[in-house]
Structure 1
Amino acid sequence: MGKPLKNPPTYLINSVDHALRIAAMLQLEGELTVSEVAERLGVARSTAHRLLAMLVYRDFAVQDERRLYRAGPILELAAHSPSAASRLRAAALPHLHRLVGVLDESANLTVRTGDTVRFIASVECSQTLRVGSREGMVFPAHHTTAGLLLLAELTDEELEAVYPAERYADRPAERLTARPDLDRLRTELARVRRKGFALNQGRSERGVVAVGVPVRAPDGTALAGLSVSMPSGRYDKHRLPSLVDTLSRVAGAIEADLAR
């Protein structure tokens, strides 16, 4: 017996439907112009432009120097390994909740694709002053705790490939979009490799401190970064060894579940 056809929902929201169709086109077909999107959807160019602008804002799309739109970091991550990210998230979530229960600080699991990282799981603590959920958000890899952990796994040649100078030539020279100083970054990554953890004090967000360790596959490959974040006023450097030890034990528990 054949699979039944999909029926549209009773209350079809056209703008949402259009945005989802554009996301699918970008992921499956590649680069598109505003005019092509407008023609495919049967909408005005101004409508197509607004929809694309929202997808760019949410990292589902990016616009290059030729004014063409292509799949953004979130769609690239989904295309790269949707099932692996889903399994990783499912395995980690119970442990993230336990980690938050022990430390009473917010916890995150983050993966890297190219020069960006995406938070695939986030659990907030119960304290009034806390770091909010980052789930689904995308940041430059070299500005985040997990990004440093995962970049530290790369060789010098692989790091150069992640940050080719030509990719950044036309980007605004702002802190979060500029190409990192690779000599300085290599020094920082060497320190991360040596210590086995990353400490982020206001690097990605002022007033926030994060500590993280890698989560590894059975073959030793780093799959993700596990981190805990807190307001800087609550961070005590004397607790750092204890935080790293707790994170390492939780990472080990996640790795054991993944191995099973």
Structure 2
Amino acid sequence: MATEMKQPPAYAIASVDHALRLATILQLEGGLTVADAAERLGVARSTAHRLLAMLVYRDFAVRDDTKVYRAGPVLELASHSRSTASRLRQAALPHLDRLVDELGESVNLTVRTGSTTRFIACAECRQALRVGSREGMVFPAHQTTAGLLLLSELTGEELDSTYAGAAQAEVPDMDQLRRELTKVRRNGFALNQGRSERGVVAIGVPVRSGEGAAIAGLSVSMPSVRYDRGRLRPIVAILASAASALEKDLHSE
């Protein structure tokens, strides 16, 4: 059963969105100064300071003696995953920027937790019509390019176990999913045509650890009107080259 695509609220509150984005950054990446926060959100330093002060008040953040804000008690429950995500993100950013220049489209780095995926790094292209940043957002794994890549690495038992505890409404058609994952595994890449969002095409390849396990998905997203089927293989080759370069950086640390 398909899960409904999340849509922005009709009356979005910018300050709430900014605060939630800061909480996500603190949880995934570690410390932030007021200047860092202002730059990431594109707001004035005074606004960033007020947002961080509210996160401190509600225990989502703490400020140390050097005036650096870090994840507070509420976010520390997930601190074990922050270092891995932060290392992946920091290593990936230069490669994402180069991919944007080479492909002219927005690119993403995504990880999987259970039956969901989280976008941990994004680089937007500069075209007027583009796929915007989804950094920090969580989606059902079977609806995303990276999710398909990472699910395809699981054994049949592991796949069943992944969805065993999910709510019924969140469980896809497992027979169909197995067929799709077999194709992804055979091809070595995933093609997502409107699966997570109508009018968007995404192509992705896995990023692997030194032991060969897929730890993330590296993907490019574009409006479907710009997708040229004839470019599929060249795009996969460019992504695979970037993934290989990222893996070398990770393994050399």
TM-score by length of 2: 0.72
Q: Counterparts of 2:233 and 2:166 in 1: how far apart (Å)?
A: 38
The yes-or-no answer on 1:90 pairing with 2:90 is yes
Are the aligned partners of 2:60 and 2:74 in contact in 1 as well (CA < 8 Å)? no
Q: Give the CA deviation at 1:85.
A: 1.0
1:1-260 pair list within 5 angstroms: 13-14=53-54, 17-18=57-58, 20=60, 78-164=78-164, 166-169=165-168, 173=169, 178-260=170-252
Q: Counterparts of 2:53 and 2:89 in 1: how far apart (Å)?
A: 29
How many pairs does the alignment contain?
195
Code of the aligned partner of 2:130: R
Cα deviation, 1:166-197, whole Å, max 9, x if unaligned, reads 5314xxx4xxxx21111111110000000000
- Say if 1:121 and 1:27 are closer, same or farther in 2 by CA, change over 3 A: closer
Are the aligned partners of 2:145 and 2:202 in contact in 1 as well (CA < 8 Å)? yes
Query: Where does the alignment leave 5 or more consecutive residues of structure 2 unmatched?
Result: 1-48, 62-70
Code of the aligned partner of 1:167: A
Code of the aligned partner of 2:175: D
Q: Counterparts of 1:254 and 1:127 in 2: how far apart (Å)?
A: 25
- Say if 1:15 and 1:126 are closer, same or farther in 2 by CA, change over 3 A: closer
Are the aligned partners of 2:202 and 2:220 in contact in 1 as well (CA < 8 Å)? yes
Q: Counterparts of 2:56 and 2:104 in 1: how far apart (Å)?
A: 37
What secondary structure does 2:191 align onto?
A: strand
Q: Counterparts of 1:16 and 1:27 in 2: how far apart (Å)?
A: 11
Q: Counterparts of 1:15 and 1:101 in 2: how far apart (Å)?
A: 36
Q: Give the CA deviation at 1:117.
A: 0.5
Q: Counterparts of 2:58 and 2:92 in 1: how far apart (Å)?
A: 33
TM-score by length of 1: 0.70
Q: Which structure: larger Rg?
A: 1
- Say if 1:80 and 1:99 are closer, same or farther in 2 by CA, change over 3 A: same
Q: Counterparts of 1:153 and 1:199 in 2: how far apart (Å)?
A: 16
Q: Give the CA deviation at 1:17.
A: 2.2
- Say if 1:90 and 1:187 are closer, same or farther in 2 by CA, change over 3 A: same
Q: Give the CA deviation at 1:79.
A: 3.9
Q: Give the CA deviation at 1:80.
A: 4.4
Q: CA RMSD, aligned part only?
A: 2.2
Cα deviation, 1:6-32, whole Å, max 9, x if unaligned, reads xxxx968457622627x956566xxxx
Fraction of identical pairs, as percent:
63
Code of the aligned partner of 1:202: G
